[in-house]
Structure 1
Amino acid sequence: MNRFFVKHEFMLMRKSKKNNMFIVFLAALVFSYCFIVLPNQETIDTIDVDELKVLVSDTKASQESREARGATGIIQFIGMSAYAQDEYKNKVRNAMVHAFENEEYTRYLRFKILNIDSMAFIEDKTLFPKSPFPHKDRSNLLQQMNLRYDSYLTSDLPVSNEIIEQKTALQVLSNLLLSPMIYLIFFCAIYFGSDVLVRDRKNPTVLQGIPLSWYRLINLKTFVAFSYTMLVLLALFIAGMTALTFQNGFGYFDIQIPVLVPGSEVDFMDSEMISIGKFLLLAIGFIPILVYLFIRLNMVLSLVLKNEWLVLLVSSLILFSERLYFTRTLRDIFGVEISHFPQTYFEFGKVITGAKNFLVNLETITYSKGYLLFIISIVIIEFLLVLIARIVNKQRFYQTN
């Protein structure tokens, strides 16, 4: 009976127009990102060769004008030669262009590091324009960029432009797990699980005749919703990684990424490097836990609300609740430290890299504490589900008047 019921429920989810339309939307989103957004995406790692060539040409013309005027000496006010500095920078930029065009990416990266103007980078107002501490954010970004570049040069891995621009499949995946896109993963669980219990109220006589206890029926529906959600996410993951690998290569698990760790001084954080493999291992472990948590939460809400759209709305509000109150300098809510709220750990990628702690300066926001809070949350939800399932029994739930 259990196997028959699971098969029946899975077929209902597979044939659901609501689910299929959402899957089509998700697939379109994945392929649009892979084939349209990512190829045209420019970041701090991107080089515009044509723009750099123009800069080299303009600087060369300016240098020739200085030579003709004899303005190549030291400026007494600053004690340095602007001509010599510009000449050095122009040679570096010119070498960058030639190395890039010749696909000598290790050599190109060495010159790219030399071309970084730290002061100009930190004063670039286009970076973190809404940050409460933009200089601190820019300094941190500059440090992390330099650490990444140094790790590429010191590792035994072949350096490519795709690796430098973080466009290989593994690098894109790790960056997506650091972005708000992770909310879409858990919204899938909420969306697919919002109606698995409530839809039966349309056919109460059929389900009431099934020789399964009420709690076992809820558990089997949870298993089906969880399995279905994970299979959809896995299929989208494989499709996206295949498309990215076809375009930019798969990447390497040994590629290093910077993470922030508590420093030796108060309100200060140091940087260290971990492999993408380790980051993904820690990050992906959160996904099944949170998918299960939201599906069980949907079961509780279904028993109470008895309406799939209300279940979808309330679960979504819980999922996005942190976005309503969180700021990068907020440490507590009503005297309770934010590290004690499960919502703080929904962006688990930022928790692992320490980005969640940056500016907040709380050493208590850790991925191990996130796991613990999610397990406690699941235990609480399970207790509520058992309690409410006894109050709202099968007969009462299917009663339509």
Structure 2
Amino acid sequence: MNRNYLVHEFLITARSRRTIPFVFFITVLLFCYCLILWPYANTKEAFDKKKTHEYLTYLENQQDLWESIGNTGLVFNRKSIDVYFQVGNPVYAKNAYNYNLFLAMSQSFEDRNFERMLQLRTFYLQNNPNEYLEDRFLFQKAPFPSKDRKHAYYQTMMKYDDYLNKDHPITFGLMYEKTGLQTLKNFLQNYGIYILLFCVIYFSSDILSRDRKHQAVLQGLPISWYRQLNLKSLSAFLYSMAFILSIIVVGVFIMTIQFGFGYFDLNVPIMIKQDTFTPEDYSVISMAAYLGKTLLALPLLVILFVRLNIVLSLLFKNEWIVLFISSLILFSERLYFTRSTRELFGKDISLFPQTYFDFGKIVDGEKNFLLNTEAITYSNGITVLLITYLVIEVILFIVSLIINKRRFYLAS
């Protein structure tokens, strides 16, 4: 009976008129992301052939100007010439150096020689950190742009050094993080878990309310009320996990076809402390470790929201109210989150479960970086989420005793 009821609930969710259009919509979004948005996304490291050509043309014109006036040596700053008359700026030589470097990068990109391209880009960034640190368009709307630019620079250099030190062939997909595994990692780092959890909330928001249309049949089932709630939860959990697994597999497969699968031994930069804001504060974990730790927390988050929806369904008996409240809880951190928020109601932010919903930012220390704290750790996250789950279980047990099967189905 338990198995049959579990399969029955699973199939009802899968065949629901409410579920099928939503799955189709998410599938369309997935294909748009994998085929259009991410492959053509412009980042700081994206190579812009047009801008590079314009820069080379500008350098050519500058060199012609210096040659025409016969000034290819040192250029002195008039404001400081009386004090530091012996110091000059070798503008012509610097322009020649930059011209040859950017021309080589452009040719490497055209020839699809990405190993040479990566070596040249890494060499350029090592000697020109201001490419990040003084880019006024980078993080210009962030409250701490200088800190964020330095953070991005360190992460970029760590990734590039890792690519060059590994024996893997350097491809376009690897260099610009578009392989299957790198895309999954970026998805989990950038609010991807929020999207997956919203799907879970949607699938499980009506697993009780839909039964009120069949009161006569369901009230006579030879299954206790609490066991019935548990079986419904299990079916929603299994369907949600199957859907999430399908999304991940299909997304990685699409990106693999285009750019390759990637490598599990690639290093993912993580911030381990907040002391000096130098490379000493950083470390690395493997791609396999990052994905494993992040995805390991996902089933806990899924069952947490499924059980929460059961509680809300018992209390409100309406799927749309349940969907709204659960979504509000899921995104509640966005209502108060600022880069300086480290306490909520006088308590440390690390004690609240909503801090850990976006678990991709916990594993790599990004949440600690954003809040300039060290209290938000992986172990704390698992502990807080487990405690939250246990609290929800206790509440569900109590509510199920108060709102029994007869009271739930006969309530108008």
Name which of 85, 99, 104 aligns with 2:94: 85
Separation (CA, whole Å) in 1 of partners of 2:242 and 2:270: 31
Q: Deviations over 1:293-339 (max 9, x none)?
A: 00000011111111111111111111111010011111101211100
Aligned partner of 2:65 in structure 1 is 65
Percent pairwise identity: 42
Distance verdict in 2 for CA 1:266–1:35, change over 3 Å: closer
Per the TM alignment, residue 264 of structure 1 is displaced from its structure 2 partner at its CA by 4.7
Separation (CA, whole Å) in 2 of partners of 1:97 and 1:129: 28
AA aligned to 2:95 is: D
AA aligned to 1:274 is: I
Name which of 193, 216, 224 aligns with 2:204: 193
Structure 2: runs of 5 or more not aligned: 78-86
Separation (CA, whole Å) in 1 of partners of 2:317 and 2:22: 22
| Aligned: 1:33 with 2:41 | no
| Aligned: 1:153 with 2:164 | yes
Per the TM alignment, residue 217 of structure 1 is displaced from its structure 2 partner at its CA by 0.4
AA aligned to 1:27 is: T
| Aligned: 1:115 with 2:124 | yes
Q: Deviations over 1:2-25 (max 9, x none)?
A: 122112112211210111111000
Name which of 233, 249, 264 aligns with 1:238: 249
Name which of 374, 393, 399 aligns with 1:382: 393
Separation (CA, whole Å) in 2 of partners of 1:265 and 1:11: 55
CA contact (8 A) 2:46 2:176 kept: yes
Q: Return structure 1 stretches of 4+ with deviation > 6 angstroms.
A: 266-269
Give the 5 Å matches for 1:157-236: 157-236=168-247
Separation (CA, whole Å) in 2 of partners of 1:129 and 1:188: 33
Aligned partner of 1:101 in structure 2 is 110
Per the TM alignment, residue 256 of structure 1 is displaced from its structure 2 partner at its CA by 1.4
Total equivalences in the alignment: 401
Separation (CA, whole Å) in 2 of partners of 1:57 and 1:152: 31
TM-score (normalizing by structure 1): 0.96
Name which of 123, 134, 138 aligns with 1:127: 138
Separation (CA, whole Å) in 2 of partners of 1:264 and 1:327: 21
Per the TM alignment, residue 31 of structure 1 is displaced from its structure 2 partner at its CA by 0.2
Separation (CA, whole Å) in 1 of partners of 2:58 and 2:298: 52
AA aligned to 1:63 is: Q
What secondary structure does 1:39 align onto? coil
Per the TM alignment, residue 64 of structure 1 is displaced from its structure 2 partner at its CA by 2.8
Separation (CA, whole Å) in 1 of partners of 2:142 and 2:50: 31
Q: CA RMSD in A?
A: 1.7
AA aligned to 1:57 is: T
Separation (CA, whole Å) in 2 of partners of 1:363 and 1:14: 42
Separation (CA, whole Å) in 1 of partners of 2:277 and 2:138: 26
AA aligned to 1:201 is: R
Of residues 388-397 and 33-42 in structure 1, the stretch that sits farther from structure 2 once superposed is 33-42
Per the TM alignment, residue 55 of structure 1 is displaced from its structure 2 partner at its CA by 2.0
CA contact (8 A) 1:45 1:164 kept: no
Aligned partner of 1:351 in structure 2 is 362
TM-score (normalizing by structure 2): 0.94
Aligned partner of 1:291 in structure 2 is 302
CA contact (8 A) 2:274 2:373 kept: no
Per the TM alignment, residue 214 of structure 1 is displaced from its structure 2 partner at its CA by 0.4
Of residues 352-361 and 389-398 in structure 1, the stretch that sits farther from structure 2 once superposed is 352-361
Separation (CA, whole Å) in 2 of partners of 1:345 and 1:268: 26
Name which of 257, 266, 282 aligns with 2:293: 282
Per the TM alignment, residue 258 of structure 1 is displaced from its structure 2 partner at its CA by 0.9
Distance verdict in 2 for CA 1:281–1:393, change over 3 Å: same
Separation (CA, whole Å) in 1 of partners of 2:140 and 2:76: 36
Per the TM alignment, residue 89 of structure 1 is displaced from its structure 2 partner at its CA by 0.9
CA contact (8 A) 1:263 1:269 kept: no
